[in-house]
Amino acid sequence: MEQGQCWLQPLDNAPLLQLAERDLVLVTNGVGHALVDSPTSSAPSQDIRSLAGLSRGEIGAGGRGSTTSLVCGGYVLEASPHRLQRMLPPWIHVTHRDAPDEIRATLELLLSELARPGSGGSPTIIARLTDVLLVQALRNWLASAPPQQRALLVALDDAPAGRALASLHNGVGNWSVKTLAQSVGLSAAALRRQIGDLTGEPPRAHLIRERMELAAQLLRETAAPIAEIGSRVGYRSEYAFNRAFRRHHGISPGRYRARRALDLEA
């Protein structure tokens, strides 16, 4: 919330959430909601997403009330929500009054970059600051999360299976259950069980998900040949990569890249 105040109104009749100036709210699972100027106002009929599309820019909602401005952004997830994402509450609200100094500092840096005259800010800097802000907000929520949620999420850092997952994410192309289990002092069976408990899916399914999400990111953000991207995510042949990508995303890598390029041009 850059200026003013408003209420976030969930479309499932959950309680309204008041947002004050410099507050931050994360909508963690794409829950439907509206923004209204007071608790007694009806939700607007205009869908801001239809105005914004996928491009950056300013959108004015109009109205005769006091000025309220927000800075909004989001992440496009290529796969269905992961179990760990579903564990988060629908909203993570960080009030400016209670925000740690590091969150306040990152917010001010982000707003300053967005307000740079002419260029509208550097897309690279804005993207990185947004990533930092996301991590800071999640960390802030985790500090006061319910014990059961906190225990499972903290296990991602502290438990052997959590260390194994970190190794998998850092080297997604070079991995096997046996070698990964040995690196953290577990048997292959124990690693399979613990990763299943943490992520809700077997290690191999988790690996394929990570490979395909990384591949989709590389197709969107680089001009690297498809065979090279397949190699980078652990596939020895372009044919095997194409089959795996199509099975996961329902479309070939080439068509995925072309379709995303058209979306950005629209």
Token duo for residue 234? 């652990």
Q: What is the pLDDT of residue 240?
A: 94
pLDDT, tens only, 205-219: 877 887 888 898 889
The helix (H) or strand (E) run that includes residue 10 is strand 6-10
Cα–Cα separations (whole angstroms), residue 140 to 71, 95, 154, 205: 20, 11, 13, 30
Q: Which residue intervals of the chain are DSSP H helices?
A: 48-52, 83-86, 101-114, 123-142, 147-158, 160-170, 177-183, 188-199, 203-221, 226-232, 238-249, 253-265
Q: Among 202, 205, 89, 198, which residue's Cα sits nearest to residue 152?
A: 198
Q: Residue 50 pLDDT more than 70?
A: no
Mean pLDDT of 179-199: 85
Higher-pLDDT residue of 258, 41: 258
Which of 67-81, 149-163, 247-261 comes out lowest in average pLDDT? 149-163
pLDDT score of 252 more than 80: yes
**Separation of alpha carbons 130 and 138, rounded Å:** 12
- Distance of alpha carbon 155 from alpha carbon 223, whole angstroms: 37
Q: Would you list the domain boundaries of the chain?
A: 6-56+64-145, 148-200, 205-265
Give the rounded distance of the alpha carbon of 86 from its chain centre: 12
Largest CA distance in the chain: 65
Under a CB-based contact definition with an 8 Å cutoff, are residues 203 and 191 in contact? yes
Binned at pLDDT 50, 70 and 90, residue 229 comes out as very high
Return the CATH class of domain 205-265.
mainly alpha
What pLDDT is recorded for position 39? 85
d(CA 77, CA 75): 6
Q: What is 92-139 written as a DSSP string?
A: EEE-TTT--HHHHHHHHHHHHHHT-TTT-S-HHHHHHHHHHHHHHHHH
Residue 111 to residues 140, 221, 228, 253, Cα–Cα distance (Å): 20, 24, 37, 36
Cα–chain center distance at 136: 13
- For residues 148 and 165, give the distance between their C-alpha atoms in angstroms, rounded to a whole number: 20
d(CA 264, CA 175): 34
Higher pLDDT, 231 or 50: 231
